[in-house]
Amino acid sequence: MRSLEVALGNRSYPIYIGENLLADSGALLGQLIDARQALIVTNDVVAPLYADRLRAGLLDHCARLEGLVLRDGEEHKSLDTMALILDALVEQRMGRDGCLIALGGGVTGDVAGFAAATYQRGISFIQVPTTLLAQVDSSVGGKTGVNHPAGKNLIGAFHQPSAVLADLDTLTTLDERQYRAGLAEVVKYGLIIDAPFFGWLEQASTALNARDPAVLAQAIERCCMIKSDVVAQDEQERSGLRVLLNLGHTFGHGIERAMGFGGWLHGEAVAAGMVMAAQMSARLGWLEEAEVSRIVRLLQFLGLPIAPPPVGAAKLLDHMRLDKKNRHGQLVLVLLQEIGSAIVTQDFDEGALMQTLAAAEP
C-alpha cells in the first residue's frame, strides 16, 4: 500500500492507495471513525459490487453503521439528491461527531461531500473513490457540490475529507469508456506540471491500457501527489495555481454542454479539450508542433478522442462562455507553454481561438 498526505495544517489527511483496501478499511479508517455513528452513501451500481466489503471492514469500528443507496448518474448530482442524504442524516439523528462515507465515483463523492459540508454546518466525511477519475482527481482537494439546471457544479462548498481510501481492485469492474475517461485526467497532470511524468506515461501506456495494477498504483500515486501539492498551496483556487487543473476543461465543458450531459463523458471531453488547448498554444507560438503531436499520440493510444465533435464553432464558443472561470465576460483559458508547464490567461489572440474552434465545424 502507498500512502501520502494532503498537508493542510490541522485539516491534513491521508490518501491510501493499494489493492484490497476495502477489506482493510477498519485498520486504516477505524481510528478516524472512532466508535461514532457513520453513514455509507453509495449508488445502485456500486452498492452491489462493494458496499458489503466496506461495511464488513468498518462495522466493528462504528457505534452504528447505516447505508444509503442513491440512483446512478450525473443527472442525480442535484439538490434533490442532496436533500435525500440530509433527510437520512436527520432520520438517523446523526450528531455533529458523525461521519459520512462516500463510496463511488465523482458524482457520489461530490454530492455526499456537499451534504457533509452542510449538515449541522459540517460533519466529517471520508472518500472511498471507485472510478479512476475519482481516485486521481475528485476525491482529493475538497471540492464538493451539485449541478443546477443552468450549469455544472454551480452550487457547492470547499469541505476537505478526513481521509481518502483508493482501492485499486475496484477499477477492475469499471467499464472501458469510464476507465479511459479517467486516463485523460491522468495525462492532464503530466501536461500541466510534470514533464517527466508525461514521458513516463508514454512509456507506460501499453501497461495502462491493460490496467496493470502496479503501473496504475504508480500513476495514481503521482497524480494524487501533484494534486495534494497544488491543493496545499492553493486550497480555494485563489492564487491561480489550482486553476491549472482545469487544462482542457473550458473546451471540454463546451463540448459536454453542446452534446448534452451524458453524450460525451467528462474525461473524453477533457481529452479533446486538451488537444484544442495544445493546438491553440501552438498557434500562439508558445508550444512546439512536435509537442502537440506527442500529446495527440498519447491520448489516441489511450483510446481517447483527439478532436471535438462536429457541433459547430459558434455553438461551442457559446457554451464555453458559460464557464465559471470567465471574468468580466471574457474567456479565461489554461494553455500550454510546453509539456509540463501550463499558464492561465485572458490575454490571447482571438484569431488563434477561432481557428482552433474551427475543428468543431460540421
Asked if residue 252 binds ligand GLY (CB under 6 A), the reply is: no
Asked if residue 118 binds ligand NAD (CB under 6 A), the reply is: no
Q: Is 237 tagged catalytic?
A: yes
Among 57, 98, 141, 309, binds ligand NAD (CB under 6 A): 141
Q: Is 185 tagged catalytic?
A: yes
Task: Return the C-alpha torsion angle 151, 155, 159, 162, nearest 10.
Answer: -60
For 358, how many CA atoms within 13 A lie in the half-sphere containing its CB? 10
Would you give the DSSP letter of residue 55? H
For residue 137, the minimal CB distance to ligand GLY (Å) is 5
> Pattern 153-192, binding to ligand NAD, x per CB under 6 A?
x----------------x--xx---x--------------
Among 17, 65, 113, 137, binds ligand GLY (CB under 6 A): 137
DSSP of 292-333, one letter per residue?
A: HHHHHHHHHHTT---S--SS-HHHHHHHHTT-TT-BTTB--E
Q: Taking Cα atoms as reference points, which of 103, 25, 40 lies closest to residue 16? A: 25
Closer residue to ligand NAD (CB): 18 or 105: 105
Q: Which residue has the cell 458523525?
A: 98
Q: Is 328 tagged catalytic?
A: no
Q: Which residue has the cell 498526505?
A: 5
Count of residues interacting with ligand NAD (CB under 6 A): 28
Q: Is 153 tagged catalytic?
A: no
Among 152, 242, 253, 283, binds ligand GLY (CB under 6 A): 242
Q: Is 249 tagged catalytic?
A: yes
Q: Is the dihedral of CA 342, 346, 352, 356 positive or negative?
A: positive
Q: Is 246 tagged catalytic?
A: yes
Q: What are phi and psi of 47, to 5 degrees?
A: -55, -50
Which of these ranges, 136-144, 198-206, 340-348, 353-361, lies near ligand GLY under the rule CB under 6 A? 136-144
Asked if residue 72 binds ligand NAD (CB under 6 A), the reply is: yes
Q: Is 227 tagged catalytic?
A: yes
Instruction: Pick left, alpha or beta for residue 282 (phi over 0 → left; psi -120 to 50 → alpha; otherwise beta).
Output: alpha
Partner from ligand NAD, ligand GLY, none contacting 242, C-beta within 5 to 8 A by type: ligand GLY
Asked if residue 143 binds ligand GLY (CB under 6 A), the reply is: yes
Partner from ligand GLY, ligand NAD, none contacting 108, C-beta within 5 to 8 A by type: ligand NAD
Q: Is 238 tagged catalytic?
A: no
Taking the C-alpha atoms of residue 253 and residue 237, their distance in angstroms, rounded to an integer, is: 18
Q: Is 66 tagged catalytic?
A: no
Contact present, 30 and 61 (Cβ < 8 Å): yes
Decide: residue 196, CB within 10 A, 0-12 exposed, 13-18 middle, 19+ buried.
Answer: exposed
Cα–Cα distances (Å) from 82 to 15, 95, 145, 274, 344, in that order, read: 25, 18, 9, 32, 33
Asked if residue 267 binds ligand GLY (CB under 6 A), the reply is: no
Catalytic machinery residues: 121, 143, 185, 227, 237, 242, 246, 249, 253, 266
The residues binding ligand GLY (CB under 6 A) are 137, 141, 143, 242, 245
The residues binding ligand NAD (CB under 6 A) are 43, 45-46, 49, 72, 74, 77, 104-108, 110, 130-131, 133-134, 137-138, 141, 143, 152-153, 170, 173-174, 178, 266
